[in-house]
Amino acid sequence: MKIKKNNKYIYLGIGIVIILAIISFAIQKKEKVIDYNTMTDEEVQIAIQEKIDNINKKNLSELGERDRMEYYVSTFIDAIENKQYEKAYDMLYIDFKNNYFPTLSSFEEYASTKFPKISSLEHTNIERNGDIYVLWVTLSDPLAGKNAQVEMNFVVQENDLNDFVMSFSVK
Amino acid sequence: MNFVDLRLKLRHFFKKNGKIIIIILIIWSSIFFINRILKNRPVNLTPETTFEMHTSVMDVSTKTPSSLRKPIEDVIDEYVGYCNEGNYQKAFDMLSDDCKEYEFNNNVEDFMSHVISKMPVPKKYSIQDYSNFKCGNKTLYVYQIKYIDDLLATGLTNSQYAYTSEKLTFYRDNNKLKMSAGDYMYHTDIKNISENEYLKLDIIDKLVRYSTETYKVKITNRSNYTVVISDQQEVDEVILTLPNETRKCLEVDDIVLNPQQTIEVEFNFPKFADDGDESNSIVLSAIRVMEKYSGTQDIEQEIIESEKANAISKFSMEVKVTE
């Protein structure tokens, strides 16, 4: 059977469309279905945390570097506010910890007394030096009046999205 | 129009335009599926920053070639390492011969003073490609290096955010990477002369740093009178001419030559090495040949003016600074 030359191109075009359709369905993103019923409590916690981390990473990837740095600082402050001192301690740079807070209890003692109980953050300035960011932050407790304001510097190094180390000016 | 007519018309339309419709459908479907493939492709999430170490700040369209990036980073790391260790001789040995000679007088102690002024204690550093420009047949890659304390280790506790900086310049010479420090860019011998019956000007050389040009000039007084080149009594006594503007000399000392005296002076002008302008000439615009000259320090203005009025000759001289 002879196929007209024009028709040949049309069949070729249809063929290409079919191939593209197959590829597009093959690489279609599939939400990983997790069956929580078969998991232990610990595994569920890990799976949920992983999910939260992925959402955080995706959200962070859409932010500019200034917003990301401010987010990291507020994460640290939130942890202190919620008395999750170990979580906050883990965010600190190792040499900074060695210099000022060699133990978790020394950090806990400092954080519980020097940081406001409820913090409102005002980011006044940010500077970048290579891969190090310096932030000027005013922390204030809205319930304690103007005198409760604390001006601090935070120094942040971002290794990857939501993967960072930091330090702050110790008063 | 009844149903049969409509059916016939539609049939006629599709018979006539069927191929075109199929082609349009093929194109539309292709775009649809390609778009779907691109949207669903796995994305590697990485933090986006404005920090591009090897893109020039002065002209973002120019970048250091990939083949030079790692070598430059390695050389800087080694250089700062030696400086931090106090191993000044090894750091000095890393510099290009002309930088050693013209910026540091081939003297490691001059270099040491320079390093200590920038980093009196061991420092961390960050680098940024600042400017890339052609100089003769070579391209200069100018990096700004900032020396800074270990901020992460201190969190700026009891300290202010501060840093020192300088320009480190790189170029390829016979496939070897050469480095200069101290804002030094390049040096050229000029050997241009301008003379008249009173004075001879001899431009010896030009030293180009990132933001200045420094000319070494030999001035000979051929007369038997005192010749005043500069004593702050006239405006713009020493200027550098560019194609469309002039630049005043930075910090000119009094330049007064006794009869038959020869001196060597340095004129330092503000000029960025990468501004694309070529300097044309140095103009000494208020030269005075004096019958009597008492100087200007602790001398009444009236006497100064009187001596100026009695000058034997007043003139300006220009000497080209192009090779």
Taking CB atoms and an 8 Å limit, are A96 and B152 in contact across chains? yes
Q: Which residues of B touch A169 (CB under 8 A)?
A: 155-158
Q: How many CB atoms lie within 10 A of CB A31?
A: 5
Question: Inter-axis angle of helices A5-26 and B3-40, to 10 degrees?
Answer: 50
Q: Is the pLDDT of residue B204 over 90?
A: yes
Nearest to A65 among B33, B37, B49 (CB): B49
For B52-99, strand residue ranges (E) read none
Q: Is the pLDDT of residue A144 over 80?
A: no
Task: Tell me the residues of chain A between 32 and 91 that have a Cβ less than 8 Å away from chain B.
Answer: 57-58, 60-61, 64-65, 68
Say how many Å lie between the first and final Cα of chain B, rounded.
Answer: 91
Does the beta carbon of A129 lie under 8 angstroms from any beta carbon of chain B? yes
Mean residue pLDDT of chain A comes to 88
Nearest to A155 among B36, B155, B158 (CB): B155
Number of cross-chain residue pairs from A and B with Cβ atoms under 8 Å apart:
122
ipTM of the complex in this document: 0.79
Which one of B27, B33, B165 makes the best mutation probe of the A interface by having the most chain A beta carbons within 10 Å? B33
Radius of gyration of chain B (CA): 33
C-alpha span between B204 and B216 (Å, rounded) = 5
Taking CB atoms and an 8 Å limit, are A169 and B49 in contact across chains? no
Taking CB atoms and an 8 Å limit, are A100 and B48 in contact across chains? no
CA atoms lying within 13 Å on the CB side of residue A163:
7
Chain A closest CA to B142's CA: distance in Å? 16
Does the beta carbon of A100 lie under 8 angstroms from any beta carbon of chain B? yes
Does the beta carbon of A154 lie under 8 angstroms from any beta carbon of chain B? yes
C-alpha span between B1 and B282 (Å, rounded) = 94
Does the beta carbon of A4 lie under 8 angstroms from any beta carbon of chain B? no
In the prediction, which pLDDT does B38 show? Answer: 86
C-alpha span between B191 and A138 (Å, rounded) = 60
Quick one: DSSP state of residue B161? -
Residues B94 and B79: beta-carbon distance below 8 Å: yes
Q: How confident is the model at residue A23 (pLDDT cuts 50, 70, 90)?
A: confident
**Average pLDDT of the residues in B60-72:** 94
Taking CB atoms and an 8 Å limit, are A167 and B41 in contact across chains? no
Domains within chain B, CATH numbers bracketed: 66-182 (3.10.450), 186-320 (2.60.40.1640)
Q: Is the pLDDT of residue A151 over 80?
A: yes
Q: Tell me the domain boundaries of chain A.
A: 66-168
Which of A98-102, B17-21, B239-243 shows the lowest mean pLDDT across its residues?
B17-21
Does the beta carbon of A142 lie under 8 angstroms from any beta carbon of chain B? no
Nearest to B47 among A21, A23, A158 (CB): A158
Taking CB atoms and an 8 Å limit, are A13 and B26 in contact across chains? yes
Q: Name every residue whose Cβ is closer than 8 Å to that of residue B303 and which is 6 or more positions away in sequence.
A: B294
Q: Name every residue whose Cβ is closer than 8 Å to that of residue A33 and which is 6 or more positions away in sequence.
A: none
- For the domain made up of A66-168, give the CATH fold: Nuclear Transport Factor 2; Chain: A, (3.10.450)
Higher pLDDT, A170 or A42: A170
Q: Which of B193, B199, B194 is nearest to B313 (CA)?
A: B199
Q: How confident is the model at residue B57 (pLDDT cuts 50, 70, 90)?
A: very high
Tens digits of per-residue pLDDT, A62-113?
899 999 999 999 999 999 999 999 999 999 999 999 999 999 999 999 999 9
Tens digits of per-residue pLDDT, B244-275?
999 999 988 899 999 999 999 999 999 999 99
The alpha-helical segments, DSSP class H, found in chain A are 5-26, 41-61, 65-81, 85-90, 94-100, 104-114
Q: Is the pLDDT of residue A142 over 60?
A: yes
